[in-house]
């Protein structure tokens, strides 16, 4: 274990065996670039790096249906059985490729390894950059996600008596995780995302607050397109700290998707590393066992720099903005160039500025009025 920071980081080049296809926006090599950029800053000196493990069917079946798992396994050779269509497989979003089942179980195993490591007390923070595939449903694939690694990890934690807070700041609503835990008070799901009025999967409105025993335990903060750092942070800090204090989680699980950044090709939010670093520091300062997972991000340069900044904060290490030459050489074959590690100024859309301000205020007020009372706030 590391001398100065009880952090575990999960990565292996084994991930690079799998590929969604040349035309698909999710590039698995972004994981390699993230690892190499972090390595070029010497971030692994005081933390532990471990290999991922494939997840067992037994653990997956606690979240996913047996028949869906059977069909997904049949797709592992890159060919589809006829019924694949009914499980949203072999679509443009969820292509069938050689090793699709193995890829999915490797991601699941990495996140589950994090849950087990935190529960056993061998670390305080576990960062699984491959995880965060939040759209997968119990009986179908969705949004580039075949198995819901997040839900598998959370299920393990609550089965072992833990209260779990899940926070998702990906540009897309964390619909799969929310659906799986929508009727339980053992998990609080909080999702900040571009409004479903404008973006896939079209869900996650502030009126969606859970059901049954879970009423008040699903929290959604839809963000208007072009929302900037200022408004995102205003919404985040008006809502999240108060709910954490009321819920008192044993463990936090965060999905750190960076498709919310201003130059991501699949969303239209205007966030930068400025707000990203602020929430990472907030998570760390909570002092609660922390399972950090990756997520969306379709500009590979953003993924590498944001998750490297996250790891630096986890490891209590200051890193400078100039990109090391050693990383530039590694990134060249992938046609990725990073000019700067941090964004130096926020991006503000003047045309929609007043509308964004009003929408942010409206959602804050609505959540405080209709959701907070379930927690006696």
Average pLDDT in the 133-150 region? 98
Q: Which residues pair with 192 in a beta bridge?
A: 221
- Convert the pLDDT of each residue in 225-234 to its tens digit: 999 999 999 9
Q: Annotated catalytic residue: which of 24, 64, 67, 135? A: 135
Domain boundaries, the chain: 7-375
The pLDDT > 90 percentage for the chain reads 98
Of the candidates 259, 344, 346, 342, which has an alpha carbon nearest to the alpha carbon of residue 41?
A: 342
Q: CB neighbours of 372 closer than 8 A, spacing ≥ 6?
A: 242
Helices (runs of H) and strands (runs of E) counted in the chain: 11, 8
User: Does the pLDDT value for residue 304 go beyond 90?
Assistant: yes
User: Does the pLDDT value for residue 3 go beyond 80?
Assistant: no
Instruction: State the chain's mean pLDDT as an integer.
Output: 96
- Convert the pLDDT of each residue in 14-70 to its tens digit: 999 999 999 999 999 999 999 999 999 999 998 999 999 999 999 999 999 999 999
pLDDT score for 372 = 98
Q: CB neighbours of 86 closer than 8 A, spacing ≥ 6?
A: 140
> Which has more confidence, 134 or 339?
134
Average pLDDT in the 128-137 region? 98
Contact 361, 220 (CB under 8 A): no
CATH hierarchy code of domain 7-375: 3.40.800.20
Q: Determine if the peptide bond prior to 190 is cis (ω within 30°).
A: no
135 is catalytic: yes
pLDDT score for 2 = 36
Half-sphere exposure of 188 (CA within 13 A, CB side): 25
pLDDT score for 46 = 83
- Convert the pLDDT of each residue in 237-272 to its tens digit: 999 999 999 999 999 999 999 999 999 999 999 999
27 CB neighbour count, 10 Å cutoff: 19
pLDDT band at 303 (very low <50, low <70, confident <90, very high): very high
pLDDT band at 148 (very low <50, low <70, confident <90, very high): very high
Q: What angle do CA 370, 372, 376 make, to 5 degrees?
A: 125
pLDDT score for 298 = 98
**Block residue for tokens 């390595």:** 39
pLDDT score for 4 = 35
Whether this model's pTM surpasses 0.95:
yes
């Amino acid at each position: 274990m590391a001398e100065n920071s009880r952090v575990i980081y999960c990565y292996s080049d084994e991930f690079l065996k799998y590929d969604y296809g040349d035309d698909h926006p999710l590039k698995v090599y972004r994981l390699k670039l993230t690892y190499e950029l972090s390595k070029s800053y010497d971030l692994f000196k005081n933390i532990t790096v471990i290999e991922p493990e494939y997840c067992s069917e037994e653990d997956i079946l606690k979240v996913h249906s047996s028949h869906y798992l059977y069909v997904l396994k049949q797709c592992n050779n890159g060919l589809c059985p006829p019924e694949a269509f009914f499980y949203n497989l072999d679509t443009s979003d969820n292509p069938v490729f050689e090793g699709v089942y193995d890829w999915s179980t490797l991601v699941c195993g990495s996140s589950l390894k994090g849950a087990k490591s935190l529960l056993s007390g061998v670390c305080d923070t576990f960062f699984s950059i491959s995880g965060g595939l939040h759209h997968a449903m119990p009986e179908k694939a969705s949004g580039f996600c075949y198995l819901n690694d997040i839900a598998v990890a959370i299920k393990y934690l609550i089965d072992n008596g833990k209260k779990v807070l899940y926070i998702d700041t990906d540009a897309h609503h964390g619909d799969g995780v929310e659906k799986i835990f929508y009727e339980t008070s053992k998990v609080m799901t909080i999702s900040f995302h571009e409004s479903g009025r404008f973006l896939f999967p079209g869900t996650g409105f502030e009126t969606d607050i859970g059901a049954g025993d879970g009423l008040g335990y699903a929290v959604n903060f839809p963000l208007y397109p072009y929302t900037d750092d200022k408004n995102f942070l205003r919404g985040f800090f008006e809502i999240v700290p108060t709910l954490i204090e009321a819920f008192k989680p044993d463990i936090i699980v965060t999905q750190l998707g960076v498709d919310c950044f201003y130059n991501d090709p699949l969303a239209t939010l205007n966030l930068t590393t400025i707000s990203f670093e602020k929430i990472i520091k907030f998570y760390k300062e909570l002092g609660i066992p922390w399972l950090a997972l990756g997520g969306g991000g379709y500009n590979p340069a953003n993924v590498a720099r944001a998750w490297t900044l996250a790891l630096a904060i986890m490891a209590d290490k200051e890193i400078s903005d100039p990109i090391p030459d050693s990383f530039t050489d590694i990134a060249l074959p992938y046609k990725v160039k990073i000019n700067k590690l941090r964004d130096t100024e926020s991006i503000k859309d003047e045309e929609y500025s007043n509308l964004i301000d009003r929408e942010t205020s409206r959602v804050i007020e609505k959540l405080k009025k209709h959701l907070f009372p379930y927690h006696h706030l």
